Structure 1
Amino acid sequence: MPEKPGLDERYGRTRGRIVRDRRLLWALAGIFGVVLVAWVVWAGLDSPGTQIDARDTRHTIIDSRSVSVTFEVSVAQNTPVSCAVEALNEGFTVVGWKVIDLPASESYTRSFTEVIRTTELANTGLIYRCWLT
């Protein structure tokens, strides 16, 4: 009568398979480690670049068709910037919009005043966003 294979052999739990599974797990752990180290180095060396800080300082409602917005922009010296200035009505709907190109300067922080034409009476005027140009 032939000998019956053991349960380990029957269900694929042989010594060779265990060794192969361990090697596969070590290889996957190694690949994960390499990817993790590469990501940490990439994220650490990625400099934040030039920072722009813009803030509203005041607004003045001139009449039902215009508003004056005064704002400050802080950016590295000799860096040209563009800013979008907007006017909003009582329901926070944009009723005026203007993109302003600010030339490079030796000053880090500069103040600007712009008059924005509006389609109806504005309730406020403010900086929407600034970006490098």
Structure 2
Amino acid sequence: MTTPDRLDVRYGRVPSPGRRWALVIVIGAIAVAAAAFAWLTISNALDDVGVDTTGYSIDGEHSVTLSFQISAAAGKNVACALEAQDEEHGVVGWKIVQYDASEVHARAFRETIPTVGLATTGFVNTCWVT
């Protein structure tokens, strides 16, 4: 071995086989992590449900009528939690509704929420694919 070869080995200018394998393993792990992240992001987006409250009316001391739209993937059953609150933001009514799958992407609904006291607002708390 010549002096320049010894210096290259001594100061790491020549990659060793162990370093190459470590680099291959690190790049492979990064690729697997990126693929897993992409899959989780896409699979969660497929089951995403969009919801917009379009209006509500106070029907008296014991009910609120709520109008809303949901956007969900076609062919998926959807459930929504509806909520009515009083002027201090206390929950005075709660209702879970379920809708069968449809081939239509966006649908509008109108539901009545029974309340235990006078409500001042009604809204859709959340929706999810069942």
| TM-score relative to the length of structure 2 | 0.76
Aligned-residue RMSD, C-alpha: 2.4
Q: Distance in 2 between matches of 1:38 and 1:110?
A: 38
Q: How much does 1:39 deviate?
A: 0.6
Q: Distance in 2 between matches of 1:124 and 1:131?
A: 22
Q: Note if 1:97 corresponds to 2:91.
A: no
Count of residue pairs the alignment pairs up: 116
Q: Note if 1:117 corresponds to 2:114.
A: yes
Q: Note if 1:59 corresponds to 2:56.
A: yes
Q: Distance in 1 between matches of 2:113 and 2:77?
A: 21
Corresponding residue for residue 3 of structure 1: none
Q: How much does 1:52 deviate?
A: 1.1
Q: Distance in 2 between matches of 1:37 and 1:106?
A: 36
Q: Distance in 2 between matches of 1:62 and 1:45?
A: 46
Output aligned runs, 1:1-133, within 5 Å.
26=19, 29-46=23-40, 47=42, 48-133=45-130
Q: Is the 8 A contact 2:55 2:68 kept in 1?
A: yes
Q: Which runs of 5+ in 1 are unaligned?
A: 1-17
Q: Which runs of 5+ in 2 are unaligned?
A: 1-10
Q: Distance in 1 between matches of 2:74 and 2:23?
A: 47
Runs of 4 or more consecutive aligned structure 1 residues displaced over 6 Å after TM superposition = none
Letter in 2 for 1:110: R
**How big is each residue's C-alpha offset from its partner over 1:19-78, in whole Å with a ceiling of 9 and x where there is no partner?**
8xx97x836554433221211122234423232111100000000111000000111222
Structure with max Cα Rg: 1
Percent same amino acid at aligned positions?
A: 30
